[in-house]
Amino acid sequence: MSVGAPTVDGASVTATVLGHVKGDKVIVFKKKRRKGYRVKNGHRQPYTQIKIGSLSVN
Task: Show the domain range for 52.
Answer: 19-57
pLDDT computed for residue 50 by the predictor: 95
Q: How many domains is the chain partitioned into structurally?
A: 1
pLDDT computed for residue 18 by the predictor: 96
pLDDT computed for residue 43 by the predictor: 96
Selection from 9, 6, 17 nearest residue 53 by Cα: 17
pLDDT computed for residue 6 by the predictor: 81
SS3 22: strand
pTM across the whole model: 0.56
Answer whether residue 43 is part of any domain.
yes
For each of the chain's 58 residues, which pLDDT tens digit applies? 666 678 888 888 899 999 999 999 999 999 999 999 999 999 999 999 999 999 998 8
Answer whether residue 11 is part of any domain.
no
